[in-house]
């Protein structure tokens, strides 16, 4: 699978919480985004040409999975955190698309607005005509001292 050219992708977001551990909150966010049972290999910002959108990852659990993502975790009380990811989908499917991600202390609407604008600008820079920009985002509010983690991702296989 790792040497294969990706033909499919899934865009998703998730949130996770844990009272004690940052990593457990992140793992819970992965589960909420339907990505917990894979070995994630972080990649940069290109959606391969001719990729088809899917609702779920369709590779064997435990397999390596190429993923472009933004994530943010905090336990600072009374803070809103968010992550977002967007894909500039090319009009001509023989061209690549562009993936943009962001995460930080803001609302989901702001994060999503930023990644969509970044995808539009990147597609112009790459001189690729855009069919559409798709996106996904997640927002969390940190209460007390619990860890809250958000992730927005594009998985490719």
Active site residues: 39, 44-45, 101
Backbone angles phi and psi of 46, in degrees to 5? -120, 125
Single out the residue of 26, 5, 4, 2 nearest to residue 14, CA to CA.
26
Three-state DSSP at 110 gives helix
Say if residues 6 and 129 touch (Cβ distance below 8 Å): no
């Amino acid at each position: 699978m790792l040497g294969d050219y990706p033909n499919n992708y899934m865009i998703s977001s998730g949130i996770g919480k844990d009272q004690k551990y940052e990593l457990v909150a992140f793992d819970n966010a992965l589960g909420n985004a339907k990505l917990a049972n894979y070995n994630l290999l972080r990649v940069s910002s290109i959606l391969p040409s001719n990729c088809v959108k899917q609702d779920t990852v369709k590779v064997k659990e435990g397999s390596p999975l190429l993923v472009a993502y933004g994530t943010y975790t905090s336990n600072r009380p009374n803070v809103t955190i968010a992550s977002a990811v967007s894909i500039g989908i090319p009009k001509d499917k023989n061209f690549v698309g562009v993936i943009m991600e962001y995460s930080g202390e803001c609302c989901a609407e702001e994060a999503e607005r930023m990644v969509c604008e970044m995808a539009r600008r990147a597609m112009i820079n790459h001189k690729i005509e855009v069919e559409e920009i798709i996106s996904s985002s997640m927002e969390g509010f940190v209460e007390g001292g619990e860890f809250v983690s958000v992730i927005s991702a594009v998985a490719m296989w």
